[in-house]
Structure 1
Amino acid sequence: MIHAYAAKTAGGLLEPFEYDPGALKDEEVEINVEYCGVCHSDLSMLKNDWGISQYPLIPGHEVVGTIAAVGDRVTTVKIGQRVGLGWFSHSCMHCEWCMSGNHNLCLTAEKTIVGRYGGFADKVRAHEEWVTPLPEGINPAKVGPLFCGGITVFNPIVQFDVKPTDKVGVIGIGGLGHMALRFLQAWGCDVTAFSTNPDKESEARELGATHFVNSRDTKAIEAVTNSFDFILSTVNADLDWGIYINALRPKGRLHFVGVVPNAIQMGAFPIILGQKSLSGSPLGSPTTTAKMLDFAARHGIEPVTETFDFSQVNEAIAHLEAGKARYRIVLQH
């Protein structure tokens, strides 16, 4: 039996729950969960904000642990090896996206907490291709959030060939944005942090920002017109996107990883004249995730985390929902 914490109704408290996972499939692995990050996506799923939740719901998709068992055809990991598991737990492995190395774009990809049980548990299962071994030098107590928030901001750096000579802006210095600052500084970029909270300036600079702009100050944003090759938006808020388009240099890109509530509105003329781009991306493929972990290990990059025991899972969720997390929460057994 697997022992977990599950919500039985939308918005309900997480309660002890156990289930029999059945026989292990041939290409499946079972992970002994040591740590699991708590993400806003877990909160959204608990509340059924996206209309796809099924109950009982066991959240948890930033898993770190050791391999407890492997299926008969598993070749990529071995028992006892420390690994991580993120938002995706399986992809079809035969569509054009999987075959081109873009498993994260697979139209039938299985999500770790959608229609299946996640990592707020003592064990969790997944297909071997989405289970990533941890490199030497990575702190297992800190790395969990890299499997969701970390890869979300690292993936566009790779996908859109951000160069060390580029000037990059990061909108929002929170759970995603603070990791973006650390990655981009190590990448070699000149980095500007945009935040509505001027009190975050000192911390943003410590995290890797070269410059800081108070995004409530329209004049301050206008002062950086035609400055950036790439701007990464990590916020879940509606902003005056036209101002940020104007902040891009010709051929610059405004890229979204934060899910803004409403339609993105802006004039077409500045985009056309400057040959600018608007884009978004989900997480990354297994290969990109492995690259991110290697890069993080090489440069000593880890998220800023707060730790709760698994028995405090409801307190951790409340802490996140209240906006008090600085900047990611990790549960530990």
Structure 2
Amino acid sequence: MYKTKAYSAASPTSSLIPTTITRRDPTEHDIQIEILFCGICHSDLHQARNEWSGAMPTVYPCIPGHEIVGRVLQAGTAVKTFKAGDLAAVGCMVDSDRTCTDCLDGLEQFCKNVTLTYNFPDKHLGGVTYGGYSDSIVVDERFVLRIPANINLAGAAPLLCAGITTYSPMRHWGVTKGKKVGVVGLGGLGHMAVKFAHALGAHVVIFTTSANKKEDALRLGANEVVISRNSDEMKKHAGSFDFILDAVSADHDINAYIELLRRDGTITLVGAPEKPLAVAAFGLLFGRRSLSGSPIGGIPETQEMLDFCGKHNITADVEVIPIQKVNEAYDRLLKSDVKYRFSIDMASLRSE
């Protein structure tokens, strides 16, 4: 075991502060990674403040962070895919049972025994896993990903969650050239969805309540921008979409978007509203439309996504901050005061 620097929350109401944590020594199948950048996901804030206490209660101290980009410090003797000095990445998962049908299908995100990157039981050291708001991390090679050398590392970090969360459903539901794709909400997830849909060749329409986001939506790759509060603008698109990705976590009228789907169209939720959405059955029945949900992707698909980003030079739009500003970033996140993700420069932790 070895000690490493980190930032942790001690309680639901406390700020994140510097601390020292214990990591396991790498085994023959492990990779030790020096963390260069770690993205801030909204779920980091939820877990640090124990806002998912019903489904996923937080164990303190909590070290968040599951959008990790770094450089290999050392690789175990049995590791064949990485060597010291390589760029590497870690997303939302660090282990699974590897034997169930989901794992064998490369869909580890659905494994009943998945181990998430933080706040999940740690089978090696006891307690819970600690995330990427730290100087280094040790992960089994099967859950370590390759980062294309040509993309910006700070912008690559959010790909490990925001990126795969939006890429995976588009691949699953067949977003390709010639499809008409809607994206509801232009935030951390939505801006990645626009970039992916555009790169996949779709005709992309952004739905937003903010008229001042139109210019940015077009810059990101949208072909059209619809102000969702304008009923006339919405009606113009009735029955025309092959696929809609709904990235909104606030309460909203899902039926207005269901009506925009063509026959056999699908709307997929990647946002998670606190209250259940009211769904009118007839909107689905007429047109054989589907309402679905999607989390992150599995390890093979996440690697596919990263390779796709390398080919198309796609990264998240980020504001890079030092770790010392993480609490300020959390406050700004609540106000949607970031375009479009925060990425922590972890060199700032090593300078303390």
Fold conserved between structures, TM > 0.5: yes
Shift of 1:239: 1.5
The question of 1:187 aligning with 2:200 is answered: yes
Alignment match, 1:19: 21
Structure 1 unpaired stretches of 5+: none
Match of 2:47 among 31, 45, 66: 45
The question of 1:80 aligning with 2:85 is answered: yes
Q: Which aligned pairs between 1:92-107 and structure 2 lie closer than 5 A? A: 92-107=97-112
CA–CA separation in structure 2 for the residues paired with 1:277 and 1:91: 30
Alignment match, 1:59: 64
Whether the 8 Å CA contact 1:40–1:320 is kept in 2: the answer is yes
Three-state SS of the structure 1 residue aligned to 2:155 is coil
Alignment match, 1:142: 155
**1:133 alignment partner AA:** R
1:261-309 deviations in Å (ceiling 9; x for gaps): 2212222123122111111111011111111111111112111110111
**1:129 alignment partner AA:** R
Match of 2:238 among 205, 211, 225: 225
CA–CA separation in structure 2 for the residues paired with 1:282 and 1:73: 31
Shift of 1:105: 1.2
1:224-283 deviations in Å (ceiling 9; x for gaps): 111100000001012111111110000000100000122122221231221111111110
CA–CA separation in structure 1 for the residues paired with 2:187 and 2:314: 16
Alignment match, 1:298: 311
Distance 1:293 1:22, change over 3 A: closer
CA–CA separation in structure 2 for the residues paired with 1:113 and 1:15: 17
Shift of 1:41: 0.8
**2:101 alignment partner AA:** E
Shift of 1:216: 1.5
CA–CA separation in structure 2 for the residues paired with 1:20 and 1:238: 40
Whether the 8 Å CA contact 1:222–1:243 is kept in 2: the answer is no
**2:319 alignment partner AA:** E
Shift of 1:22: 3.3
Whether the 8 Å CA contact 2:154–2:318 is kept in 1: the answer is no
The question of 1:270 aligning with 2:275 is answered: no
CA–CA separation in structure 2 for the residues paired with 1:194 and 1:267: 20
The question of 1:132 aligning with 2:145 is answered: yes
CA–CA separation in structure 2 for the residues paired with 1:215 and 1:11: 36
Whether the 8 Å CA contact 2:100–2:111 is kept in 1: the answer is yes
CA–CA separation in structure 2 for the residues paired with 1:144 and 1:289: 12
Alignment match, 2:126: none
Alignment match, 1:7: 9
CA–CA separation in structure 2 for the residues paired with 1:114 and 1:162: 34
Alignment match, 1:122: 135
Shift of 1:101: 1.4
Three-state SS of the structure 2 residue aligned to 1:20 is strand
Alignment match, 2:220: 207
Structure 2 unpaired stretches of 5+: 121-128, 348-352
CA–CA separation in structure 2 for the residues paired with 1:16 and 1:239: 38
Three-state SS of the structure 1 residue aligned to 2:259 is helix
1:76-111 deviations in Å (ceiling 9; x for gaps): 222211111111111111110000111121111111
Distance 1:68 1:150, change over 3 A: same
CA–CA separation in structure 2 for the residues paired with 1:265 and 1:26: 51
- What is the aligned-residue RMSD (CA, Å)? 1.3
Q: Any runs of at least 4 consecutive aligned residues in structure 1 with deviations exceeding 4 A, and if so which?
A: none
Whether the 8 Å CA contact 2:267–2:292 is kept in 1: the answer is yes
Whether the 8 Å CA contact 2:23–2:137 is kept in 1: the answer is no
Whether the 8 Å CA contact 1:36–1:144 is kept in 2: the answer is yes
Three-state SS of the structure 1 residue aligned to 2:310 is helix
Shift of 1:20: 2.2
Shift of 1:137: 1.1
Alignment match, 2:95: 90
Query: Aligned residues, how many?
Result: 333
TM-score, normalised to structure 1, is: 0.97
Shift of 1:18: 0.6
CA–CA separation in structure 1 for the residues paired with 2:344 and 2:21: 20
Alignment match, 1:245: 258
Shift of 1:314: 2.0
Distance 1:22 1:89, change over 3 A: closer
